[in-house]
Structure 1
């Protein structure tokens, strides 16, 4: 039986589609999010508004289209400064706690609720949280498996923006 399960998981990974455990409570409940109808979703429990797409993608036909941009940490922070989306300002790179709140621990490739955040790359995303121990590094959240780590700020990583509610 274990071999069958491992085989199924391997096949799922090879197909590069999201795999979720059935008998595992979801970390992000669908009731926690409100679809704003403009390419954003509001996390009602945290009072945050998220861009549904990664930077570089566009919200069209109820999904994220195109390729997400990979930016250095400084480029991500600069891109967020003054960014206007959905007729709103105040977008920023989320801190590690905020970004980690989007992870869906019961799923991998990507480890996120695809209903609200479709076509999310299964890779690292920048947070605004710098490393305390090494000023050349900052925290990332991996939407491959919902882990986090620190990366060199000069590496090119994906970014999703957030803003506080008005």
Structure 2
């Protein structure tokens, strides 16, 4: 009996972990696909904010042929995240940065959870914490994180703890065709 339950749990557990979104007719999307221009270099441009984002969570490498993320994502401390942004040359650009709390909020998909992000546009997502560059003013040893399970940013994390990262940069984004 125990083995049968374990087999059933392994078969159905991916279904329980799949992203859940509200019916599009009842809740408008906060990050509709037509707002973004997907580039073949692993970046995506948000025409509403003129922010270019990594398509994949940091550490992954975008595979344009399969439109997927290869390798493995990395969890970094806050200082490592700032250094990674400074060193990134993704898409031939050298001005990548860790988003502040308001910038990261622009890609939260409010109609979805686990993760609360548009999974057609952004790949290699996690429901866990993502770093922002915003330091907690009440405790400078902590920085604000966005938790993509439900899209809330109601917590800060110790800057020495590990979290995921998605880099961004400002640019002019041509309108989607």
The alignment's TM-score, normalised by the length of structure 2, stands at 0.83
Match of 1:48 among 41, 48, 51: 51
Offset, 1:82: 3.0
Which residue of the partner structure matches residue 167 of structure 2? Answer: 161
1:144 equivalent among 138, 146, 149: 149
Displacement after TM superposition at 1:15 (Å): 2.8
CA distance in 2, matches of 1:94, 1:119: 18
Determine if contact 1:95/1:127 at 8 Å carries over to the other structure: yes
Provide Cα deviations, 1:98-124, integer angstroms capped at 9, x if missing partner. 101110111111100001112201111
1:18 aligned onto 2:19:
yes
Q: What CA RMSD, in Å, does the superposition of the two structures yield over aligned residues?
A: 1.6
Number of the residue aligned with 2:75: 70
Cα shift readout 1:29-60 (whole Å, capped 9, x = no counterpart): 21211112221100111111001011111111
Contact 1:55 1:158 in 2 (8 A): yes
Change (3 A) 1:12 1:27: farther
- Number of residue pairs matched? 156
Which one has the largest radius of gyration? Answer: 2
What residue number does 2:121 align with? 116
Distance (whole Å) between structure 1 residues aligned to residue 113 and residue 21 of structure 2:
7
Contact between 1:13 and 1:109, CA under 8 Å: does it hold in 2? no
Q: 2:97 aligns to what? A: 92
Unpaired runs of at least 5, structure 1: 1-10
Q: Which of 19, 23, 38 is equivalent to 1:35? A: 38
Determine helix, strand or coil for the equivalent of 2:87.
Answer: coil
Distance 1:127 1:133 in 2: 16
Q: Secondary structure at the match of 1:68?
A: coil
